[in-house]
Amino acid sequence: MVGLELRVPHEANRSWPPRCGRLPAAAEDGDSAEGAAGGLVEGSEEEAAGNAGVPPVSCSGGLPHTPPQPQPETLVEEREEGGDGDVCSSDGQFVRDCVDRRGRTGDGELEKMEENGGREKRWLTSAVNPPPKRRMVSAIRRFPRGSPRYAVVDTSIGCWRNAVTNTSTGGEEGYVFEATPISFASGGVSAEDASHMVTTSSILRRDVSNDEMQGKREEVGGATEAHNHKIQESSVGKSFVLDDFAQDQDDNDHPQNDVTKGSPRHGFAEKIDETRTLHERKPISLIAADGDVRSKWNGRLRKGIPSTYVTDPVNVKTKGKRLRNPKMNVALLDDAGVVEECTVRNDTSSTPRGVTHSNINVKQHMVTRKLKRDGIGKEPLNTSRKESKCVNHVVTGQIEENNDAGLSNVKIIVQALMAPDKCPWRQGKKSLAGVSRSLARGDDVKIKNAAPRNELPSKVTPSTLTRHETREDRYSSFEDNENSTAVVAHEKNNKLCVTLPSCVAFVDESVDAQSKVTKMDESTPSHERKHVPRLAGDGDARSKCEGSLLEGTSEFHVRDLVDVRTKGKKLESVNMNVTLLDDFEDDMMRYKTPSTQRGVTCSTINVKQRVVAHDLKFDGIDKDPLNRFAKESKSGNHLAVHQTEKNDDVGLVTKKIIVLALMAPDKCPWTQGKKSIAGISRSLTHRNKSRTVREGLCLPDISQGKESIPICVFNTIDEMQPVPFKYITKVIFPPSYVKAPPKGCDCTNGCSDSSRCACAVKNGGELPFNFDSEIVYTEPVIYECGPSCRCPPTCHNRVSQHGPKIPLEIFKTGKTGWGVRSPSFISSGSFICEYVGELLQENDAEKTENDEYLFDIGRDSDDEEGLQSSTSETMDDNVGYTIDAAKCGNVGRFINHSCSPNLHAQDVLWDHDDKRMPHVMLFAEKNIPPLQELTYDYNYNIGLVRKNGTEKVKKCFCGSSKCRLRLY
């Protein structure tokens, strides 16, 4: 037993635990530790959320909310030794003890190395990537204030396998292709001036250049279009046809050229941004309607008025006769899950029925610009050709912001309007509800897609569940509603994911497509349902490709290639370069660019894995669906590849469709340094018929589509749901802070030459990640390649910036409130998630009401280095910063503390070089089995006292044998 040590805080020694858990200033006097432990010192959680202006969030449901964690017992007046005698002192002595001890025991997995100039690098040993020659450690780095990464070095740390060998290069081709780079290529048109609707969408390379980040304009080579393509499933469910858009008939009156010609990819967004304030850039609701309305839509969204006008509807039944006043039913659906800052919600009860098409009320303000809606004869995602012909779309547009990376998102929503007699959801047929796309410059690309109706549950709950509704409420409200709903999909980190709405649990299993999917599942053992690697190729191959993926073989056949230059002459044997790109899913097989195959004939492209057995049909596509370069798009073709995969953990089956681009070398943008798309992939998620939803699932995706993988919430303990908060994926910086991108590297070879790669040099001469995206060593700060680098987004020195890739779920723990775990196995070194929230200056953080979610960043108590770099004139250079995730945060805010953690926090810089406010990235510190709680060491200071002289004490419930018994 150690006697109580009271220490009076002083300037240099903070009076609150680092990283999180500070007691609020208001509560300093006399508040109990219990109060602090509960997450709120005064009032209820709900009150606090309300007071803090926490916007309604759909994740809250109607169930009661739990406080962040239960009120654990509090130790007062005593400080106990940890189970093994460790006592964490406030000055980090414990850390040194731990590290020293482990260093002596030589667990071999983690070594601490000191670099020149006292810089320290922790290496994880690996046969592939051995650490540099070990040096004597002259001084063990003191634990950075608030940084748990060196706090406890667990003896089981480790595996960090397959470390990067910087000599292995995938060649540039391997990095050039983007999985799903999408951008908005429009501009030169002001919102008010846009008498024509901008419905442009395009593909862009994801390696956002410095110029782009700085908002410079850039020439683009042609029109971009609101594209739609169709993927149709054959009657046997095994054949897919990918058609390009039904754009042809509208090309002439389509104004994209006007918009995009010579315009920057973000020019439009800029203009819009200039003309309206943030609060006006709210998302519009998704509209799904059924009525007599058909092709040729013209409409506009008006600023400041709650109406959307749709003009010139044409009745397909009268073969184009214009409809003056058709009736249709309109459902306003929530848009949550698409827009990060979404706050406006409409529920289905507001659905106006029988309104005339010319004035459809939309219950919110919208961006001012006129929209042009093209009738689209071919349904982009409809699995039924018949249906697709009777479906039309309305394209609407929306601007949204992503300040964090200086990006602007432009969202395009394609909506379906159908006649009652054709309306699938009124007849139980299949159809598409709508498609929406978010086109962003840069990384944060989100797409919202509607799914084919036949892949929708008949009892649909959109991802935009009304706040405080119970699950049953949602269920019945949509059951009552005849109108369709949309399916949320999202594009993030090169992925275009089309998923069912959050109600996958309610999927109607009688729907055809589902049974097809299930059939495929049944016929294909799970081990064979591996990912198909993406292929990107350049060659002479053009239209009409047909291919198959053969089960159990390593061949990918492409037949009937046609050379566009010979106008359709069939090619028997075409040389083309093919690059196998990594598939992007986290826990699946990975392919490395060194496996690139070159010069193979198109008729047999080896694919280095077993694939699902089914035939594929590929349609030549003259227009690249997402290519923003019309020129390029005309020279490119696509192959659609269908793939089924499983997600056993939540009983979902995901059907992925990959669209590949094949281009002739002379046209191939990536061989000429131009921008292009490599491919598109789509994931369609279904509930596996044979599976039941896991017990305790209370929220299917708390991120509401903002993360690339849904983040489910489970509670098998009680009926509670997490307290509402706003889900964000990026740190919110103070408005005054201007982030300047750091100088980047000039690498075009995948940053493989660490002596030349400026980012590798900044990292001490080695890149911190291996080709499995696992971190192989830690440093006080590591540098990922960023927006100013010439390397593409696929560069393996870009890991954490792409967001979580490992499925995570929030669950109710026994003693520590909500926690986080993964249904999947996590290999050591894997990136888990960033700790995001609002960035506050220290002094502001002190005033916060809820100190449970504070995370001090960027400041090492030993090291003032972090205070020296500033890119802001308006922010104080000499203060520390804190991330407050109480009101706004991501899944990281739920990760609990453990004295034997399996994660560690790593400061990462990539989009700016201000060391005062690095990104706090959590990485696996060891192999973690599925469903084991993820934890890191909060490294709180022990022994802090309140104003009244009592010690701040909070009991630790981590349950580790090494538990220090106190959080602080």
Ligand X SMILES: C[S@@+](CC[C@H](N)C(=O)[O-])C[C@H]1O[C@@H](n2cnc3c(N)ncnc32)[C@H](O)[C@@H]1O
What is the closest distance, in whole angstroms, from the C-beta atom of residue 927 to ligand X in the complex?
Answer: 21
User: Is 787 or 817 the residue whose CB approaches ligand X more closely?
Assistant: 817
User: Taking contact as CB under 6 A, which single stretch among the options 25-33, 53-61, 627-635, 811-819 is the one that binds ligand X?
Assistant: 811-819
Out of 481, 824, 896, 939, which residue is the one contacting ligand X (CB under 6 A)?
A: 896
Q: Does 811 bind ligand X (CB under 6 A)?
A: no
Cα separation of the two ends of the chain: 16
- The CA distance from 194 to 371, in Å, is 8
- The CA distance from 333 to 505, in Å, is 19
The three-class DSSP label of residue 683 is strand
User: Taking contact as CB under 6 A, which single stretch among the options 23-31, 606-614, 627-635, 810-818 is the one that binds ligand X?
Assistant: 810-818
C-alpha distances (whole Å) from 879 to each of 11, 91, 118, 874 are 12, 20, 24, 12
User: Is 429 or 897 the residue whose CB approaches ligand X more closely?
Assistant: 897
Apex 66 CA angle, 60 and 70, nearest 5: 160
Q: Does 724 bind ligand X (CB under 6 A)?
A: no
User: Is 339 or 895 the residue whose CB approaches ligand X more closely?
Assistant: 895
What is the closest distance, in whole angstroms, from the C-beta atom of residue 638 to ligand X in the complex?
Answer: 44
- The CA distance from 839 to 857, in Å, is 9
Q: Does 638 bind ligand X (CB under 6 A)?
A: no
What is the closest distance, in whole angstroms, from the C-beta atom of residue 731 to ligand X in the complex?
Answer: 15
Partner residues linked to 492 by β-bridges: 495
User: Is 19 or 453 the residue whose CB approaches ligand X more closely?
Assistant: 19
Q: Which of 564, 936, 891 is nearest to 729 (CA)?
A: 891
Segment 927 to 966, residues that bind ligand X, using CB under 6 A: 956-958
Out of 24, 158, 817, 829, which residue is the one contacting ligand X (CB under 6 A)?
A: 817
User: Is 394 or 698 the residue whose CB approaches ligand X more closely?
Assistant: 698
Out of 14, 15, 21, 762, which residue is the one contacting ligand X (CB under 6 A)?
A: 21
What is the closest distance, in whole angstroms, from the C-beta atom of residue 850 to ligand X in the complex?
Answer: 9
The DSSP symbol for 120 reads: E
CB 411 within 8 A of CB 437: yes
Place of tokens 């001012």: 368
User: Is 177 or 894 the residue whose CB approaches ligand X more closely?
Assistant: 894
Phi, psi at 830, each rounded to 5°: -70, 145
User: Is 416 or 903 the residue whose CB approaches ligand X more closely?
Assistant: 903
The three-class DSSP label of residue 729 is coil
- The CA distance from 322 to 313, in Å, is 6
User: Considering CB under 6 A, how many residues would be counted as binding ligand X?
Assistant: 20
What is the closest distance, in whole angstroms, from the C-beta atom of residue 937 to ligand X in the complex?
Answer: 10
Q: Does 901 bind ligand X (CB under 6 A)?
A: no
What is the closest distance, in whole angstroms, from the C-beta atom of residue 70 to ligand X in the complex?
Answer: 8
What is the closest distance, in whole angstroms, from the C-beta atom of residue 916 to ligand X in the complex?
Answer: 21
**Contact pattern for ligand X over residues 495 through 534, marking x by CB under 6 A:** ----------------------------------------
- The CA distance from 384 to 241, in Å, is 11
CB 748 within 8 A of CB 176: no
- The CA distance from 958 to 416, in Å, is 51
Q: Which of 219, 242, 179 is nearest to 625 (CA)?
A: 242
User: Is 24 or 181 the residue whose CB approaches ligand X more closely?
Assistant: 24
What is the closest distance, in whole angstroms, from the C-beta atom of residue 575 to ligand X in the complex?
Answer: 56
Element (H, E) at 330: strand 327-333
Out of 32, 69, 461, 763, which residue is the one contacting ligand X (CB under 6 A)?
A: 69
Out of 853, 881, 910, 923, which residue is the one contacting ligand X (CB under 6 A)?
A: 853
What is the closest distance, in whole angstroms, from the C-beta atom of residue 933 to ligand X in the complex?
Answer: 10
Q: Does 667 bind ligand X (CB under 6 A)?
A: no
User: Taking contact as CB under 6 A, which single stretch among the options 303-311, 467-475, 753-761, 892-900 is the one that binds ligand X?
Assistant: 892-900
What is the closest distance, in whole angstroms, from the C-beta atom of residue 68 to ligand X in the complex?
Answer: 3
Residue nearest to ligand X (CB): 817
What is the closest distance, in whole angstroms, from the C-beta atom of residue 967 to ligand X in the complex?
Answer: 5
User: Is 643 or 816 the residue whose CB approaches ligand X more closely?
Assistant: 816
Strand order in the sheet with 369-373: 360-361, 307-311, 297-301, 369-373
Q: Which of 870, 837, 833 is nearest to 855 (CA)?
A: 837
Q: Does 897 bind ligand X (CB under 6 A)?
A: yes
User: Taking contact as CB under 6 A, which single stretch among the options 82-90, 338-346, 535-543, 815-823 is the one that binds ligand X?
Assistant: 815-823
What is the closest distance, in whole angstroms, from the C-beta atom of residue 20 to ligand X in the complex?
Answer: 5
Q: Does 20 bind ligand X (CB under 6 A)?
A: yes
CB 533 within 8 A of CB 581: yes
Q: Does 967 bind ligand X (CB under 6 A)?
A: yes
Residue 490: count of CB within 10 angstroms of its CB: 29
What does the block give as tokens for 414? 């394609």
Count the helices and strands in the chain (H runs, E runs): 14, 50
Burial class (CB in 10 A: 0-12, 13-18, 19+), 641: buried
What is the closest distance, in whole angstroms, from the C-beta atom of residue 885 to ligand X in the complex?
Answer: 7
- The CA distance from 363 to 350, in Å, is 8
Place of tokens 């369609």: 684
**Contact pattern for ligand X over residues 107 through 146, marking x by CB under 6 A:** ----------------------------------------
- The CA distance from 688 to 505, in Å, is 10
What is the closest distance, in whole angstroms, from the C-beta atom of residue 38 to ligand X in the complex?
Answer: 7
The amino acid that residue 704 corresponds to is: Q
3-state percent breakdown (helix, strand, coil) of the chain, nearest 5: 15, 25, 60
What is the closest distance, in whole angstroms, from the C-beta atom of residue 41 to ligand X in the complex?
Answer: 12
Phi, psi at 867, each rounded to 5°: -95, -5
Question: b/e string for 348-361 if b means 16 or more Cβ within 10 A?
Answer: beebbeebbbbebb
Q: Does 737 bind ligand X (CB under 6 A)?
A: no
Kind of pairing, strands 652-663 and 818-821?
Answer: unpaired
Q: Does 72 bind ligand X (CB under 6 A)?
A: yes
The amino acid that residue 99 corresponds to is: V
Out of 365, 372, 516, 893, which residue is the one contacting ligand X (CB under 6 A)?
A: 893
Place of tokens 């480790």: 158
What is the closest distance, in whole angstroms, from the C-beta atom of residue 954 to ligand X in the complex?
Answer: 7
What is the closest distance, in whole angstroms, from the C-beta atom of residue 922 to ligand X in the complex?
Answer: 12
Q: Does 821 bind ligand X (CB under 6 A)?
A: no
- The CA distance from 627 to 677, in Å, is 6
CB 288 within 8 A of CB 433: yes
- The CA distance from 944 to 145, in Å, is 14
What is the closest distance, in whole angstroms, from the C-beta atom of residue 899 to ligand X in the complex?
Answer: 8
User: Is 297 or 855 the residue whose CB approaches ligand X more closely?
Assistant: 855
Q: Does 783 bind ligand X (CB under 6 A)?
A: no
Segment 330 to 389, residues that bind ligand X, using CB under 6 A: none
- The CA distance from 733 to 908, in Å, is 16
User: Is 629 or 818 the residue whose CB approaches ligand X more closely?
Assistant: 818
Segment 29 to 68, residues that bind ligand X, using CB under 6 A: 37, 68
User: Is 72 or 267 the residue whose CB approaches ligand X more closely?
Assistant: 72
CB 79 within 8 A of CB 45: no
CB 743 within 8 A of CB 210: no
Out of 818, 831, 881, 910, which residue is the one contacting ligand X (CB under 6 A)?
A: 818
User: Taking contact as CB under 6 A, which single stretch among the options 302-310, 692-700, 706-714, 890-898 is the one that binds ligand X?
Assistant: 890-898
Q: Does 816 bind ligand X (CB under 6 A)?
A: yes
Contact residues for ligand X, defined by CB under 6 A = 20-21, 37, 68-69, 72, 816-818, 852-853, 893-894, 896-898, 956-958, 967
